[in-house]
Every structure is written in structure tokens, then in C-alpha cells.
Amino acid sequence: MRKVALIVLLLGCVAPLALSLGYGLMYSLGLIGLQSEGFTLSFWAQLLSGEFARSIIYSAYVAGASTVLALGAALALLFSCRLHLRRALPYRLLFLPLTVPPLVAAFVVFQLLSGGGVLARAAWHFGLISDTQAFPELVHDPYGVGIIIAHGFLVFPFFLLVLLNIWDNEQLDELGRVAASLGVAKHRVFARIHLPLLMRGIFPLLALYVIFFMGAYDIPLVLGQSSPRMISVLVLEKLQRFNLADIPVAYAMASWYALLCIATIALLFTRFKRRYSL
Amino acid sequence: MRWQRLLFSIVAICFVIPLAVLAYLSLSANWYFPALWSHSFTLEHWHWLLRDGSPLTFSLLLSVGLSLSVSVAATALGFFVSRLLAYHTTSTYWLLGAYFPYVIAPVVFAVMLNVYLLRLGLTGTLGGVMLAQLLITFPYAILFFYGFWNERIRNLEHLVRTLGGNFRTVVTQAILPSARGLIAVCFFQTYLISWFEYGLTQFIGVGKVPTLTIMVFRYISEANPHLAALAGLLLILPPLGLLVVNRRFLLHKAWSI
Amino acid sequence: MVTLNNIRKAFEGQPVLKGVNLRVEDGETLAVLGRSGSGKTTLLKVMAGIHRAYEGSMRVDGEAIDHLPPQKRGIVYLYQDALLFPHLTARENIAFGLNVRNATAIDREEKVTQVLRSLRLSEHGQKYPAELSGGQRQRVAFGRALIIQPAILLLDEPFASLDFGTRREMQRLFKRVAHQHAMTTLFVTHDAREALSVGSRFAHMEDGRLHVFPDRQAFINDEASGIRDEINFWNEIDHTHE
């Protein structure tokens, strides 16, 4: 039965990925493809030319900022409104953003934050701006503000739900009281007891979300600028261009990004396996 | 407590805004800058939706059918494969095999997978999109169920065996009654992953499998915010229903971000 | 009668059972005392057919059962956790084994009523496991095994999670019911007093080996049982207070 288990896992999960990755790598090394002229590292070399590296750095920045925003908002709300969040209606409301698909969230953020959006109209009515150009760039902007806000909106309630769960499971109220009885000042209980335990509990999830945000597609597609683009958008754009020479570069990008994800998750898994009983 | 309520009220308003914006847009007409509410309203978009042969109605039915098939298959496969893995392998390192497709962006996975689907004649077909979505929901279901197969369930299975039950009895009397709630949660979560999916569906389906998310993007590209909002509302309504029935169903990982 | 001949079992090269020989006569209760990790649970799982790959042979009433799957051995294994089916009432839980064997409705009802009565559960038959106390749940689990009249009933520290009072009550009930139904049982425990209370014959398990004592006195006198130590301890306490 062990063999059957492993065969199904290999066939259903590992093989499709391995085959895909294998194809991507071979294409990017010039071994296959429409314009294949034999083994070459030139497409890989093009990755170093800047576009790919810029995209990876930009994706990492957006992923990091989105995670920090979502976590910061969740922590702030947890510490300011914890008792209120225990009530039935507020608790239920936290689930509301989870009903919104990323693509729709991106569309709504665009309708709210773009130059012709709801906020800009409100600003015009209050006499703050005279035309759409005067409104600050919040979508299609170089800092990815719109993308980060959309990510934060979708994920921060989920982080908050997880933090509330950790708070109960780890009995943080009780531990705080124990710390206080041992002489820790009330205002330091947060920094010395609550925050480290919450972070320890939520860390694997944060790591996963950084990876998810890095590979985000729907939201950057609607709200992102034209350069640099986030990695998923860039790969697809390269692949769907009419320039045939771009296709092996797109495969090189996809393969290296996939390898990066695999290496990261393997590292996280082995490093934190015991600590987080993964 | 009063300022807590005030702060949370502001957050709650932020939560409701997307729905309000979508509803407002779906009922608006000629909503140009700088008008906030001094413009015309119409039921025309909704009438259009309910008309015979509306493309959005077709997309709605297509999305429901696609997501139902994907979630049923992923849940059933994930349930039994996770059992095999949990019972017959000693190392959790095998689970990494399920984590890999789980963490790679679906659209990047689709890019590299497409050649095989193309050779199988599945690109641009409903079957191809279904298979591609299954390849990301199946590992999710494995990871979801893996923790369920603990010592207690194993003992329960053994007990049913020693009481004379065969595998069918074990499944119907021991496993399913214990796993019913989890199966429902996994079913709805995989349903939502499929329901929310855009990039992979667009790439594998090459626009020929017009699910609701594809329609939302199509209307956005056509600069038709009213129909995009209408399609967006149709996407949100089923998960909203789940929120009323059982909110646990919504706690899926944000797959298609 | 159940006989075990030179049973050996290893996990990943580590021997856990090192040649267990055993003979349990019909109607007797063999109490097996042993510390955790001594191989008690493995022995029961091998007997029940849950662990299949082992060396040696097992017979029930002279017939070899080594090739039989758990559901065909007629050996029921009860865990410390009652493991009742949460979706079935106490009555339905007890009837489970009969349903699996396609017993007729009349036969089933009659037997279940009888078992409920003998376990003093008559007024709890329609309750679901969540509505029962810990002791009641164990009684239902016991009834569920009892009703199919297994060749041998294996009990793996069944009362370990109960409070002291309920535990004593369950031990008395077990003895009465086992006697009443002439049950053949193997009762594993790490509590010497419980072993003495329920057993009609005694054995001690240590490091994968089983030592069966010829009689109660030999069990008490044996150092490994720890009973001498306990008696000495109480004597010392008595002297301190005198």
C-alpha cells in the first residue's frame, strides 16, 4: 500500500510539476521549441539583463509590503478591539472579505482609488482637486500601492482570525496574567509574552503568504504598472507576445521562479518541521 | 468599549464597501467623473442578465458546473490519497510533493504545463481547464486532510475491523461520520479555489471557457464597469451564502491572489 | 482456547515482541501487567490482526488464524478510549457488530436489551455518546464487544482514563459480566491492583517477553509485579503513624 500511496502522490502532484518544470527548463536551454538551435545559455543570460531581476525584486517588495500591511492591520485590530471581536456579529463580519475573489477586489480597488474613481470624485466635490490628473497615483503606480491595499484587504481579516485562534489555543490571557504575577509590567506583557507567541504561531502562514503574494497574478494584472511587472504577469506577457524569441526567455523566467519557490518551501519545511509540527 | 466599537465600525464599513460599490455600479448608467451620485440609475444590466441566452447566465452555469466537478474530484481524491500517505509512509517529507504545486503561482504552473495539455488536445477545452484546476486543488486537499488521519481515527478503523466490519463498513461507519464536517469544509474550499481562479483558467482555456472570472476581466478590458460589477456580484453571492450557512467553509488559502 | 506460539514482531528492525508463548483457556481472564513500552499493546494488536507481519503462530480452538484479517478472527480489541460512534445511540453502538453480521431484527433487539440490562444501561439506550459519562461510555464499548461473543476479548487499559471511583465500579462490573458470560479475556494494565482485581490468571510483560505466573501468590511474590513494594510502602506508612 505504501507503493500505491507514493505512486498516486507522484502521479497527481509531483509528475505534472516535474514534467512542466522539465519542459520549461529544456525550452529555456534551447533544447526544444520552435526556434531551437541546440543547447544555449543565452536565454538564461538574458535573465541577468535586468527585467527578470527587477521583476523578482519588485514582486518580493510587493509581497513583503502586503504581508507587513496585512499583519500590522491584524495585530493593531487584535490589540485594540479584541474583546469587541469576540461578539457574534463583528466576528462574522471578519469573514466578509473572504467572499471576494482577488480579481473582483482588484476591480473594486480600481473603482475606488483610480484617478476617476470614487475617492477622486469625493476629492473633487470637496474642492481638493480640479481634475483627474491632480489625484495622487494609487493604481498603476510605481510603488504598487493599489496592489498592496488589495492584498491587505483580502488577507488581513484571515490573519486576524488566525491570531484570535492562536490567542485562545496558546492561552495568552492566562500567560499574560502569569507574567504579570511574576513582576512583568503590564505594558511590557505585550512585547515580552503576547507578540513573540503570536509571531511564533503565525510565522509559517506568513512565509506561505509571502510566496503566494510573490506569485500573485489577478490583482497586479488589473492594478500594476507596466514596468517593472510582477513575475507572473511578466511571464505571461512575454509568452503571449508575438516575438518568438521572447518565448524561451519566458520559460526561463517561469522555471527559475518555480525553482525559487520549491527551494524556499523545501527550506522552510525542513527548517521548521519540528518546531511547527508541519 | 465605545471606541472599540467605533474603530471596528470603520473596519466593517471598509468590508462592506466592495459589495456596495459593485451593487451601485451594477445599477448605474453613465457614471462619469466627477459625478458621485448625480447620474442616472437603471435596471437594464440586471434585465439583460435574466434575459434568455445572456452570456453571463451561461458563464454562471459553466462556473458552477466546473467548480462543482473540480471540488468533488479534488475532495474525493485528496481524502483517500491523504489516508494512504498518512498510514503507509513514515516520513512527512513526502508531503513536500503536495506542497510544491501548492506554492507555485497557478498561472506560472499553467504556462509550463500547457504544452502537455496542448498535445492531449485539452487546451481551450473545459476538460483541460478542469484538469489544470484539479492539479492545484488536489494537492490542497491532500494537505487539508493529512492531519485528519490521526491515531484516534486509525484505532476506530481497527476497532470496526475487529468487530467484523469490512472496508465498506469502515468507510461508512467509522470514517465518513467522523470526517463529514471536514469533507464539507474541504469541498467548499476547493470549490472556492476553482470559483475564484482566473489566470490559469484564462491561459489553459484561451478564452474559450468563459467562466465568471473570465467575464469580469473581459468587461474590465472593454471598459464596461457596470457589467464587470454585475459579474463580480454573481461571483460573490455564492460565498456570501456560505458565510450564512457556515463561515468555516470560507477559510481557504487565498489561492489565486 | 487461544494459543500463541513463539510470536515475534519487529518495527524497522527493532524487536518489540521477542518470542511470546501463551495459552488462554476458555472463560478465564488473563491479566497482563507491564510498563509502557514493554510491548503489551503490540501483543494485543498482533493478536487482533491489526499488525499482520509477524513470526510465530496463533490458534483459536485449535484452528490457525495467522492468515485471517482482523474481521475474520473473532477477536475484539478494546482501546482505552471508548471510541463510540458519535452518530449512533448507545443502543445502536452496541448493536453494531450484529448489524455487520446481518443478524435478524428480533435477535438483535433481544440481545441488545439483554446486554444493556446486564451493563445497567437500560435507561441510557437512546442516548448519544456525547450525552453519556466516561464510565457509561466504557460500558457501551464493552457491550458492543460482548454482544458478538468473541473468541477472546482484548482490553488495552480500558479504565485508565476514568476517575478512581468509576474505575473501581467498572472493575467490579467487568468481573461480574465476564463471569456471567463466561468470557475469555486478556486484560492489559500497568496497575498491579487492577490486575489483581480483575484477573483469574496473571502474567507480566517486560522488554517484549511475557512471563505467565502459575498462580496468584506467585504473581504477588514476584518482584517484577511491584506488589511486594506496594505492600511494604503501606506498611511503612502505617508504622510511621503508630
Same domain, B87 and B36: no
Distance in angstroms (rounded) separating the CA atoms of residues C154 and C29: 10
> Could you read off the pLDDT of B100-112 as tens digits, one per residue?
888 889 999 999 9
Same domain, B24 and B63: no
Q: What is the length of chain B? A: 257
Same domain, B163 and B107: yes
In this prediction, residue C242 carries a pLDDT of: 57
> Could you read off the pLDDT of A103-122 as tens digits, one per residue?
999 999 999 999 989 999 99
In this prediction, residue B252 carries a pLDDT of: 58
Of C50, C81, C101, the CB nearest to B164: C101
CB contact under 8 A, B232 and A101: yes
- Using DSSP, state whether B164 is helix, strand or coil: coil
Q: Which residues of B touch C45 (CB under 8 A)?
A: 158
Q: At residue B254, does pLDDT exceed 50?
A: no
Cell of C39: 510491548
In this prediction, residue B256 carries a pLDDT of: 40
Same domain, B33 and B68: no
Q: At residue B192, does pLDDT exceed 80?
A: yes
Per-residue confidence band for B123, with pLDDT thresholds at 50, 70 and 90: very high
**φ and ψ at B28, to 5 degrees?**
-100, 160
Buried b (16+ CB within 10 A) or exposed e, A234-256: bbbebbeeeeeebbbbbbbbbbb
> Could you read off the pLDDT of B34-73 as tens digits, one per residue?
888 767 888 888 988 888 788 999 999 999 999 999 999 9
Same domain, B38 and B55: no
Same domain, B5 and B113: no
∠A37-A40-A46 over CA atoms, to 5°? 115
Q: Environment class of residue C228 by beta-carbon count within 10 Å: exposed (0-12), middle (13-18) or buried (19+)?
A: middle
What percentage of chain A has pLDDT greater than the value 90?
A: 48
Same domain, B105 and B182: yes
Q: Please name which of C222, C221, C223, C171 lies closest in space to residue C199, comparing C-alpha atoms.
A: C171
Cell of B42: 437603471
Phi/psi class of residue A50: alpha, beta or left (left: φ > 0; alpha: ψ in -120 to 50)?
A: left
Distance in angstroms (rounded) separating the CA atoms of residues A122 and C20: 85
**Helices marked H in chain A:** 2-9, 15-28, 42-47, 51-85, 88-93, 102-113, 118-125, 145-169, 172-181, 186-189, 195-214, 218-223, 231-240, 246-272
Nearest CA distance, B255 vs chain A (angstrom): 7
CB contact under 8 A, C76 and B163: yes
Q: Are B145 and B182 in contact (CB under 8 A)?
A: yes
List the CATH number of the domain containing B135: 1.10.3720.10
Distance in angstroms (rounded) separating the CA atoms of residues A81 and A199: 18
**φ and ψ at C187, to 5 degrees?**
-110, 110
Count chain B–chain C contacts defined by CB atoms under 8 A: 54
Count chain A–chain B contacts defined by CB atoms under 8 A: 263
Q: Domain limits at B22?
A: 1-42
Per-residue confidence band for B1, with pLDDT thresholds at 50, 70 and 90: low
- Measuring CA to CA, how many Å separate A180 from each of A166, A185, A188, A193, B206? 20, 6, 9, 10, 61
Of B88, B203, B257, the CB nearest to A236: B203
**φ and ψ at B51, to 5 degrees?**
-70, 150
Q: How far is CA B193 from the centre of its chain?
A: 3
Chain C: residue nearest B168 by CA? C100
As a 3-state breakdown, chain C gives helix, strand, coil percent values, each rounded to 5, of 45, 25, 30
Give residues with Cβ within 8 angstroms of A158, minimum separation 6: A97, A98, B251, B254
Same domain, B84 and B186: yes
- Using DSSP, state whether C156 is helix, strand or coil: strand
Amino acid letter, residue B130: M
Distance in angstroms (rounded) separating the CA atoms of residues B98 and B144: 10
Q: Are A111 and B45 in contact (CB under 8 A)?
A: no
Tell me the DSSP string of B3-29.
Answer: HHHHHHHHHHHHHHHHHHHHHHHHTEE
- Using DSSP, state whether A225 is helix, strand or coil: coil
Instruction: State the Rg of chain A over Cα.
Output: 23
Per-residue confidence band for B181, with pLDDT thresholds at 50, 70 and 90: confident
Nearest CA distance, A145 vs chain B (angstrom): 16
Distance in angstroms (rounded) separating the CA atoms of residues B236 and B18: 10
Nearest CA distance, B41 vs chain A (angstrom): 16
Tell me the DSSP string of A11-27.
Answer: IIIIHHHHHHHHHHHHH
Strand ranges, E, within B62-215: none
Beta-carbon neighbour count of residue B181 at 10 Å? 11
Nearest CA distance, B168 vs chain C (angstrom): 11
Distance in angstroms (rounded) separating the CA atoms of residues A83 and A85: 5
In this prediction, residue A104 carries a pLDDT of: 96
- Return the bridge partners of C10, or none: C15
Q: At residue B248, does pLDDT exceed 70?
A: no
Distance in angstroms (rounded) separating the CA atoms of residues B83 and C171: 37
Interface of C with B (CB under 8 A): 12, 45, 48-50, 69-71, 73, 75-79, 81, 83, 85-87, 96-97, 100-101, 144-145, 148
Same domain, B60 and B126: yes
- Using DSSP, state whether C152 is helix, strand or coil: strand
Q: What is the length of chain C? A: 242
In this prediction, residue B257 carries a pLDDT of: 44
> Could you read off the pLDDT of A20-50 as tens digits, one per residue?
999 999 999 989 887 778 888 888 888 887 8
- Low-confidence residues of chain C: pLDDT under 70: 241-242
In this prediction, residue A3 carries a pLDDT of: 80
> Could you read off the pLDDT of B126-159 as tens digits, one per residue?
999 999 999 999 999 999 999 899 988 999 999 9
Q: Environment class of residue B224 by beta-carbon count within 10 Å: exposed (0-12), middle (13-18) or buried (19+)?
A: middle
> Could you read off the pLDDT of C115-165 as tens digits, one per residue?
999 899 999 999 999 999 988 999 999 999 989 889 999 999 988 888 888
Q: Subunits with at least 3 CB pairs below 8 A relative to chain B?
A: A, C
Beta-carbon neighbour count of residue A41 at 10 Å? 11
Question: Do chains B and A touch by CB distance (3+ pairs < 8 Å)?
Answer: yes
User: What is the pLDDT averaged over residues A255-268?
Assistant: 90
Nearest CA distance, A116 vs chain B (angstrom): 6
In this prediction, residue A276 carries a pLDDT of: 53
Q: At what angle do helices A2-9 and B55-88 cross, to 10 degrees?
A: 150
Same domain, B125 and B238: yes
In this prediction, residue B196 carries a pLDDT of: 94
- Measuring CA to CA, how many Å separate C149 from each of A100, B58, B163, C94, C117? 57, 60, 10, 12, 16
Q: What is the mean pLDDT of chain B?
A: 88
CB contact under 8 A, B162 and C81: no
Q: Select the residue from C47, C71, C94, C99 to test the B interface by mutation, using most B Cβ atoms within 10 A.
A: C71
Amino acid letter, residue A233: V
Distance in angstroms (rounded) separating the CA atoms of residues B144 and A276: 16
Same domain, B107 and B192: yes
Q: At residue A242, does pLDDT exceed 90?
A: no
Distance in angstroms (rounded) separating the CA atoms of residues A65 and A71: 10
Domain tally, chain B:
2
User: What is the pLDDT averaged over residues A82-99?
Assistant: 85
Peptide bond into A90 cis (omega under 30): no
Cell of A110: 480600481
B127 touches chain A (CB under 8 A): no
> Could you read off the pLDDT of A161-204 as tens digits, one per residue?
999 989 988 888 888 888 888 878 877 888 888 999 999 889 88
Positive or negative, the Cα torsion across B109, B110, B112, B117?
positive
Per-residue confidence band for B255, with pLDDT thresholds at 50, 70 and 90: very low
Walk me through the domains of chain A, giving residue ranges and CATH numbers: 40-272 (1.10.3720.10)
Cell of A277: 509540527
CB contact under 8 A, A98 and B251: yes
CB contact under 8 A, B88 and A4: yes
Nearest CA distance, C86 vs chain B (angstrom): 8
In this prediction, residue A185 carries a pLDDT of: 81
In this prediction, residue C63 carries a pLDDT of: 92
In this prediction, residue B128 carries a pLDDT of: 96
Q: Are C76 and C145 in contact (CB under 8 A)?
A: yes
Which of the two residues, B216 and B249, has the higher pLDDT score?
Answer: B216
Q: What is the mean pLDDT of chain C?
A: 90
Of B155, B163, B166, the CB nearest to C97: B163
- Measuring CA to CA, how many Å separate C145 from each of A110, A222, C103, C183, C199? 65, 63, 15, 11, 19
Distance in angstroms (rounded) separating the CA atoms of residues A130 and A124: 6
Q: How far is CA B37 from the centre of its chain?
A: 34
Same domain, B152 and B34: no
